[in-house]
Structure 1
Amino acid sequence: AERPPGSAIKPILIYGPGIDSKAITAATVVDDVKQYLLHDKPQQEWPRNVEKRNYGLTTARIGVFKSRNVVATLLLKDYVGLPTALDYLNKLGIDRQNEQYLSIAMGGFNKGMTPLEMAAAFTPFANKGIYTKPMFFTEVKDNSGKTIISVKPERNQVFSEQTVFIMDDILQDVVTKGTAYPEGIIEYKDSEDKKVVIPSAGKTGTTDSDKDKWFCGFTPYYVGVSWYGYDKAVEIQKEEKYNALLIWNAVMNKIHEGLPSVPFFENTPPNIVKRTICIDSGKIATDLCRKDPRGGRVREEYFIEGTEPTYSDTCKVHVEYQACTASQDAQKRHLLATEYCPFETLVLKVGIKRPVEYKPAFPNDPYPADSIYEIPEGEFCTVHDSGLLIPPIVEDYIPIDPTIEEENLPEGVPDGPSSEDIGDPIEQENWDGINWDEGNSNPD
């Protein structure tokens, strides 16, 4: 049966094609804020993250393993483009060229997919970018042993080896810390009772009102796809929500018993470079990125050579500013200091400045989660007498007396409880389906 794939479509429709066409990188950042992209319903929020909240500046990598719908849709709309995405999907054996609408970013196709189609479409991630058309036999012989039918596999290179290397690295995050943790982990005990872990990767998927659950996963040995649901599309109950992953895990654990643990790639492919980037800008990290009050916002990221940020292309999102600890705004951010603020109330802080200011479409729209870390631009101390205002962004500032203790910085905003995709038995991520009108699919 053909069923909508939910977010399981994202690697083969958006992220893989985007990286391969060099339209995006794993470090491409989009602003996950409220969107109103339905032309016929301009006041209806769409798309929406399953958690019913927005997180702000987010890299493509995080968008994958957190299964953020807004990130995927904006990348498809503004970077990859529908024609490119559907062209790659066609090369992967799934022809949906006539479905040119943004809801497919979350699996909202009029015509769904079979588990076999999805398994075949994921094979390039396990086979250095090569797609193999599904086949059920290679040879038929008569009773004398003579070959009467011989079928050769149809193969074509869809993704470059470099793209697959990066995608495998991203999709392993789904298993180790994302929506497929921990059921996506393949392990067994060997003859000496030592644990053997087989590298695995993949993507979860869920559709409207939890009617379909998917996991498309793979190892260096096999690709396996599980779908869980009912013949008549009805909501899957809470106690069943991990069943697609549990089925996948049971089968894959069994067929991998006795196999040695091998990596997806023995060596890094040529033309892959690594850069230390800021996850809020996607640019080369600076010392300020490490001083973010949420903790270091820095990671090592892989790029196809030529798509990496240059060393001079540094993060401009993180900035320093001088604040007065005697005054706060509604988000409890210390306001910018003026020349009338006493020396003992001054503190040097690090915050973020969005490349594009977020302006809510409607008065009651909430700000994204990371807005509490923005510098309070234009908001100056209201406690002390007003006077000549000092610049909000400190470039060549005079260091504050080091004997004064810096204000304790706030803890980071937690992501949970989230409800992306399938699978996190410790309830780190719960299910909360979202309904869409007029057939707009809203998988996780």
Structure 2
Amino acid sequence: MKNSLSFKKKFLIWFWAILAFPLVVAVVLFTLITLEVFGPMPSFEDLENPTSNLASEVYSEDNVLLGKYYIENRSYTSYEELSPNIENALISIEDVRFRSHSGIDFRGLGRVLVKTIVMGDRDAGGGSTLTQQLAKNLFPRDTSHNQLSITRKSKLVLAKLKEWVTAVKLERNYTKDEILSMYLNTVPFGGTVFGIKSAAKTYFNTSPDSLSIEQAALLAGLVNAPTRYSPVRNPERSLARRNLVIEKMARYGFIGDVLADSLKKQPVVLHYQVQDHNEGLATYFRETLRIILTATEPVKENFISEDSYKTDSLEWATNPLYGWCNKNIKADGSPYNIYRDGLRIYSTLNGKMQEYAEEAVVAHLSQSVQPAFDKEQKSKGYPVYSRDVPRDQVERILEQAMRQSPRYYYLRQNGLSEEQIKRSFNTKTSMTVFTYKGERDTVMTPLDSIKHYKRYLRAGFMAMDPHTGYVKAYVGGPNYRYFKYDQVTKGKRQVGSTIKPFLYTLAMQEGYSPCRLVPNVPQTFVVGDSTWTPTNSGDTDYDGQMVTLKWGLANSVNNISAWLMKQFNPQNVVEISHKLGIKSFIDPVVSIFLGTSDFTVAEMVGAYATYANRGIHIDPLYVTRIEDKNGNVLATFKTKKNEAISEQTAYLMINLLQGVIDHGTGRRLRYRYQLPGPLAGKTGTTNNQSDGWFMGITPNLVGGAWVGGEDRAIHFEGITQGQGASMALPIWGMFLQKVYADPSLGINGSSIFAKPVSLSVDIDCPVMAADIESEKNNNGFFD
């Protein structure tokens, strides 16, 4: 009897011991995990502030998303911004008991054990809850675990247990709504697309709150295996997966069976747009803004040019936006990172104006300038460079272009010799090249591809509000993917006759009148031991006569500018140019009035805006404010102003520049583009037609355009096509047509230039060029 009781007692002890052993082991394991014996766990602070790489977004003033800076293309979306469709679809396919469990779904684990492991049903689904998946996304698995000698499977088991602990902690710290939105903000949707906001934009060009049931079902199906179920790479699998999600939505009562059957018959309709730095609006602007924001404090040893070092140092000291990320520190002591911190950068650009500007640049280059240049090139045997450029100079230019190419850098990095590299550049290979009719697959040598791209003329265009300094449109070239160099703020080119108004400004400032009569005769300058006599670009009917200053500027007559140059020394022109906003170096020589100095489009637009702003110069402004991911304002930016010239001088210059449009080199704005209302402006052309310029002014908008080759030796041979009135003016004309036609912008031909209350100078003088034959006007005046 005693033996029987003893056996029973031992049996019960062993029974309960065996039964309790897994529980004890689990308790010990979870305790050790919590104590971080098997590696670090997320702290309370980590759980309160989970980190993820959030893309910074750039917005226009009218709230158009222009683009992003990112390592992972992820943007933050709150629960309130989510469509119920994406919530229902995700819960149906991934975690139907999401609203009822506390982070771990033991019922789901039982299903996995029985159906998936025992019965081999792969469609039974996984046991991980959305909260566990979020834990894995936010705090990736680490299987190092204190160097313990355990198998890989054991490491994975421990990692899974750590996810369970983290999931429970997340459930304690966040609501279900918050966990759902956090999950949708972190989960990958394929490639560089992370988070529901980026996914909705990339695949359907919509926002998370506007996702339809079938769109939400497709995206919910993607999270399990983004590549396998990609609607781009694997459309059939994607369709099947989407329909499975729809079936589950019906099974769990989120939609009706009839609706589900109807939706399953619908094809997958994508509006797929790759979201990268080469695509979208304002690509050149976004890259320039990136460089400005992430700039570091200039170090003299890193600069080749003393002038560039001084310019950047001044920007660092006086421009709050320049180097903003490195000048400002976060609460944790680290600088801001535009690729990870989810900043919201609100620019001054207007989405519609930016679109109109890009359309104008591409339309003019592709439909007019490039066909004319190609035709001229074809007639001369496609030399690319002007025939007056020596052969050895052309070879040096091409070799330099070769050395600056990514291909050359890659081959050098891989240890190839100069001879091998040159052989590679002269070996035909398959490639895709840019054309205005679309990308073209072809076979050519890399050296020939350099020549191919050199043949395309480039452009830069910028428009700004002269009263606020807000830059409204910014186009640095014809296509950012293929022509990366920004011709608005990076490219400096000779400005030609567009500098002449600065000289005329001196005259107006000193009491001259637009009606002042001066002799239209050649002027000779003594330069050192020699003499120099500038000539006019074209004959006029008024050679040798007394003409007004207004007529001289309207027709860009060098005789008149040379006469003025004799009244004022070069240093005066340099000083007034800097007052108007030109920051580049200007050599104080007598030929300064011909525009031999190199300026940027941005500098010129800022300078001309001074005339429309009653003599007050405003530096162009690119950004109004920066917010963090939660909408808290981190910084605001304001314009810098200075009184450059008097209000009367500014108005007199407007009057002179109106003559350019109404009676001079800019007349085609009237007869070709039919632009109404007050318009002012100036054309400019440099030697050999290497640079074509046009600066345009309206009461509320000022713009500037430059067109030319990548190298100065690439240019039109003839003045008719190569002058600024033909190369650059049409961009302003086409842009302004679209702006005037859009009533939502509030800019049209009805505004007028504000006239000073007391104007002491006569401006109602006869325009002596009015009787020039219209035939000449139709071809454009020479400048």
With the length of structure 2 as denominator, give the TM-score of the two structures. 0.33
Query: Tell me, what secondary structure is at the counterpart of 1:221?
Result: coil
Is 1:61 aligned with 2:530? no
- Matching residue of 1:176: 662
Partner residue in 2 for 1:235? 715
- The count of corresponding residues between Structure 1 and Structure 2 is 282
Preserved CA contact (<8 Å) 1:224 1:252:
no
Letter in 2 for 1:51: G
**Equivalent residue, structure 1, for 2:506:** 17
Q: Which residue of 1 aligns with 2:497?
A: 7
- Letter of the structure 1 residue corresponding to residue 728 of structure 2: A
Unaligned runs of 5+ in 1: 189-195, 278-298, 302-369, 371-411, 432-443
| Contact 2:615 2:644 survives alignment (8 Å) | yes
* Aligned-residue offset at 1:167: 1.5
Task: Specify the code of the residue in structure 2 equivalent to 1:203.
Answer: K
* Partner Cα distance (2:699, 2:672) in 1: 11
2:144 match: none
Shift, 1:265, TM fit: 3.1
Aligned partner of 1:308 in structure 2 is none
How many angstroms apart in 1 are the aligned matches of 2:657 and 2:603? 19
Deviation by residue 1:133-185 (Cα, 9 ceiling, x = unmatched) = 12211210111221112211101121222112221122111111100112267
Q: Which residue of 1 aligns with 2:616?
A: 130
Is the 2:580–2:607 contact (alpha carbons within 8 Å) kept by the matching residues of 1?
yes
CA RMSD of aligned residues (A): 3.1
Q: Residues 276 and 91 from structure 1, CA distance in 2 versus in 1: closer, same or farther, beyond 3 angstroms?
A: closer
1:39: Cα distance to partner? 2.7
Q: 1:31, 1:10 → 2: CA distance?
A: 17
Contact 1:49/1:70 (8 A) holds in 2:
yes
Q: Partner of 1:350 in structure 2? A: none
Structure 1 residue 275: deviation in Å? 4.7
The answer to whether the 8 A contact 2:663-2:770 is kept is no
Letter in 2 for 1:90: H
Any conservation in 2 of the 1:168–1:264 contact (CA below 8 Å)? no
* Distance in 1 between residues matched to 2:581 and 2:622, nearest whole Å: 16
Q: What is the letter of the counterpart of residue 6 of structure 1? A: G
Alignment of 1:9-48 (within 5 A): 9-11=499-501, 13-22=502-511, 24-39=512-527, 42=530, 46-48=533-535
Counterpart contact for 1:186–1:252, Cα < 8 Å:
no
| Closer/same/farther in 2, CA of residues 147 and 92 from structure 1, 3 Å limit | same
Q: Partner of 1:203 in structure 2? A: 682
Matched residues in 2 for 1:98 and 1:43: separation?
Answer: 22
**1:36, 1:42 within 8 Å by CA — same for their partners in 2?**
no
Per-residue CA deviation, residues 358-405 of structure 1 (Å, 9 max, x unaligned), is: xxxxxxxxxxxx9xxxxxxxxxxxxxxxxxxxxxxxxxxxxxxxxxxx
1:106, CA displacement in angstroms? 1.2
SS at match of 2:494: coil
In 2, are the aligned partners of 1:90 and 1:97 still within 8 Å (CA)? no
Does structure 1 residue 51 correspond to structure 2 residue 51?
Answer: no
**Structure 1 residue 240, shift from structure 2 partner:** 5.3
What is the aligned partner in structure 1 of residue 696 from structure 2?
Answer: 217
Extract structure 1 runs of 4+ deviating beyond 6 A: 185-188, 416-419
Over alpha carbons, which structure has the higher Rg?
A: 2
Distance 1:428 1:146, change over 3 A: closer
Give the partner amino acid of 1:222. L
Q: Which residue of 2 aligns with 1:427?
A: 779
Task: Give how far 1:49 is off.
Answer: 0.9
- Tell me the distance in 1 between the aligned counterparts of 2:762 and 2:667: 27
Which structure has greater helix proportion?
Answer: 2
Structure whose residues are more often strand by fraction: 1
Where 2:669 maps in the other structure, the secondary structure is: coil
| Structure 2 Cα separation of the partners of residues 211 and 184 of structure 1 | 26
Greater relative contact order (CA < 8 Å, ≥ 6 in sequence): 1
Instruction: State the distance in 1 between where 2:707 and 2:688 align.
Output: 14
Distance 1:184 1:40, change over 3 A: farther
The yes-or-no answer on 1:250 pairing with 2:726 is no
Deviation at 1:122, TM superposition (A): 0.4
Q: Find the partner of 1:92 among 580, 587, 590.
A: 580
Alignment partner, residue 402 of structure 1: none
CA contact (8 A) 2:494 2:596 kept: yes
Q: Post-superposition shift, 1:17?
A: 2.7
Corresponding residue of 1:107: 595
Question: In the alignment, which residue of structure 2 is the partner of 1:269?
Answer: 756
Q: SS where residue 74 of structure 1 aligns?
A: helix
Q: Structure 2 CA distance, aligned partners of 1:129 and 1:418?
A: 37
Q: Distance in 2 between matches of 1:243 and 1:125?
A: 24
Q: Which structure 2 residue ranges, 5 or more long, are not aligned?
A: 1-490
1:386-441, Cα deviation, whole Å (9 max, x unpaired): xxxxxxxxxxxxxxxxxxxxxxxxxx99867998xxxx4x1263x5xxxxxxxxxx
SS at match of 1:272: coil
SS in 2 for 1:77: helix
Cα 1:57–1:114 change in 2 (3 A) is same
Q: What's 2:230 paired with?
A: none
Matched residue, 1:392: none
Question: In 2 relative to 1, CA 163–98 (structure 1 residues): closer, same or farther, beyond 3 Å?
Answer: closer
